Amino acid sequence: MKKVSLSRNLRAYSMVIVLVFIAVLFHFLTNGLIFTSMNLTNIILQNSYVVILILGMLPIILTGNIDLSVGSVLAFVGAIAAIMQVDYGCGVFVTLIVSLAVGVLIGAWQGFWITRFDIPAFIVTLSGELVFRGLTQVILDGASIGPFSSAFRAMASSFIPDLFGGSGLHITTMVLAVIACVAFVLTQLRGRRSKIANGVPVGSPTGMIVRCVLISLVILVLSYEMAAYQGYPTVLIIMVVLAFIYDFICSRTVFGRGLYAIGGNRKAAALSGVKDRLYLFMAFVNMGLMAAVAAIVYAARLNAATPKAGVNFELDAIAACFVGGASVTGGAGNIIGALVGCFVIGILNNGMSMMGISADWQQTVKGLVILAAVAFDLIPKRKKK
Partner 1 sequence: MEENILEMRKITKEFPGVKALDQVSFQVRRGEIKGLVGENGAGKSTLMNVLSGIHPYGSYTGDIVVNGETCQFRGIEQSEKAGIAIIHQELALIPLLSIAENVFISNPQCRHGVIDWNLTRAKAIPLLARVGLKEDPDTPINQLGVGKQQLVEIAKALSKDCKLLILDEPTAALNEQDSRNLLDLLKTLQKDGITCIMISHKLNEICYVSNSITVLRDGRTVADYPDASKVTEDEIIRHMVGRELSNRYPRRENVQIGETFFEVKNWTVHHPEFPEKTVIHDVNLQLRKGEVVGLAGLMGAGRTEFSMSLFGKSYGCGITGEVYKGGKRIDTSTVPKAIDNGVAYLTEDRKTYGLVLMDSISQNISMSNLKRVSKRGVIDLDREIKETGENAKQFGVKCSSIFQSAGNLSGGNQQKTVLAKWMFNWPDVLILDEPTRGIDVGAKYDIYCIINQLAADGKCVLVISSELDELLGICDRIYIMNQGTIKGEKLRSEATQENIMKLLI
* Residue 340 and residue 16 in contact, taking contact as beta carbons nearer than 8 Å: yes
Q: Which of 254, 371, 372, 378 lies at the binding interface for partner 1 (CB under 8 A)?
A: 254
What part of residues 158-187 is at the interface with partner 1 (CB under 8 A)?
A: none
Q: 305: which strand partners?
A: 145
**Chain length of the chain:** 385
Any contact of residue 274 with partner 1 (CB under 8 A)?
Answer: yes
Q: How far is the CB of 261 from partner 1 (least distance, A)?
A: 5
For residue 70, the surrounding DSSP H or E stretch is helix 70-82
**Three-state SS for 305?**
strand
- Minimum CB–partner distance for residue 124 and partner 1 (Å): 23
Judge whether 108 and 281 are in contact, CB under 8 Å.
yes
Q: Which of 49, 113, 260, 281 binds partner 1 (CB under 8 A)?
A: 260
CB 345 within 8 A of CB 319: yes
Least CB distance to partner 1 at residue 280 (A): 15
Residue 19 vs residues 26, 57, 339: alpha-carbon distances, Å: 11, 21, 11
- Binding range to partner 1, per CB under 8 A, among 85-93, 159-167, 273-281, 284-292: 273-281
Q: How far is the CB of 176 from partner 1 (least distance, A)?
A: 26
Within residues 224-253, the interface with partner 1 by CB under 8 A covers 252-253
Q: Which of residues 275-294 bind partner 1 (CB under 8 A)?
A: 275
89 sits near partner 1 (criterion: CB under 8 A):
no
By CB under 8 A, which span of 10-18, 158-166, 238-246, 270-278 interacts with partner 1? 270-278
Helix/strand/coil for 300: helix
Shortest CB 343 distance to partner 1, Å: 27
Cβ atoms of residues 325 and 334 within 8 Å: yes
Q: Applying CB under 8 A, what is the total number of residues that bind partner 1?
A: 27
The nearer residue to partner 1, 80 or 243, going by C-beta atoms, is 243
Tell which one of 179, 182, 237, 271 touches partner 1 (CB under 8 A). 271
Give me the least distance between CB of 11 and partner 1, in Å please.
14
Least Å from the CB of residue 44 to partner 1: 29
Q: What are phi and psi of 78, to 5 degrees?
A: -60, -40
CA 282 to CA 195: how far, in whole Å?
A: 31
255 binds partner 1 (CB under 8 A): yes
Part of the chain binding partner 1 (CB under 8 A), chosen from 177-185, 263-271, 316-324, 373-381: 263-271
Task: Report the nearest approach of partner 1 to the CB of residue 60 (Å).
Answer: 18
137, 158, 265, 362: residue in contact with partner 1 (rule CB under 8 A): 265
Distances (CA, A) of 219 to 33, 44, 177, 182: 20, 14, 6, 11
**Residue 298 near residue 76 (C-beta atoms within 8 A):** no
Site for partner 1 in 193-212 (CB under 8 A): 194-195, 197-201
Report the Cα 277 to chain-centroid distance in Å: 25
Decide if 281 contacts 121 (C-beta within 8 A).
no
Residue from 261, 289, 293, 300 binding partner 1 (CB under 8 A): 261
Burial 81-101 (b: 16+ CB within 10 A, else e): bbbbbbeeebebeebbebbbe
46 forms part of the interface with partner 1 (CB under 8 A): no
Q: Residue 11: in which H helix or E strand, if any?
A: helix 2-12
Q: Is 331 in the site for partner 1 (CB under 8 A)?
A: yes
Instruction: Supply the minimum distance, in Å, between the C-beta of residue 331 and partner 1.
Output: 5
CA distance 127 to 113: 11
Residues at the interface with partner 1 (CB under 8 A): 194-195, 197-201, 252-255, 257, 260-261, 264-265, 267-275, 331-332
